[in-house]
Amino acid sequence: QVHLLESGGGAVQTGGSLKLSCAASGGTFSSYTLGWFRQAPGKEREFVAAVSRSGRSTSYADSVKGRFTISRDTAKNSVYLQMNILKPEDTAIYYCAGEPSPYDFDYYRESRSYRYWGQGTQVTVSS
């Protein structure tokens, strides 16, 4: 069972950047497909980005495509979300999620596909 811990959230102005990190422990990191989700007040949790266990396949929500980049570092047992050109609508709690996968190129875009979740980190973008 993997444990996930996010960090790197904070408050920025419109157009700014943040890099979220998610450190994994207790599992075989290289076998996990990983994702980032977010939840704004009064809204459902939504998909942001995902990366396959090999790191060679990625997927993004249309709302963040071209602005956010997901990456993983197996040596550091970590997954990252680089967020650029932030907008007020990006304000949310961001969650890291993980799920073992037998395939190098698979990723999951639905929250129900992930069993393991971090506690979340707040991102606030002011106009």
6-20 confidence digits (pLDDT tens)? 999 999 999 999 999
Question: Is 82 in contact with 98 (CB distance < 8 Å)?
Answer: no
Question: Is 98 in contact with 4 (CB distance < 8 Å)?
Answer: yes
84-99 confidence digits (pLDDT tens)? 999 999 999 999 999 9
Rg (the chain; Cα; Å): 13
Nearest residue to 55 via CA among 14, 110, 19, 107 = 107
Tell me which residues of the chain have a pLDDT lower than 50.
none
Two tokens, residue 95: 């969650």
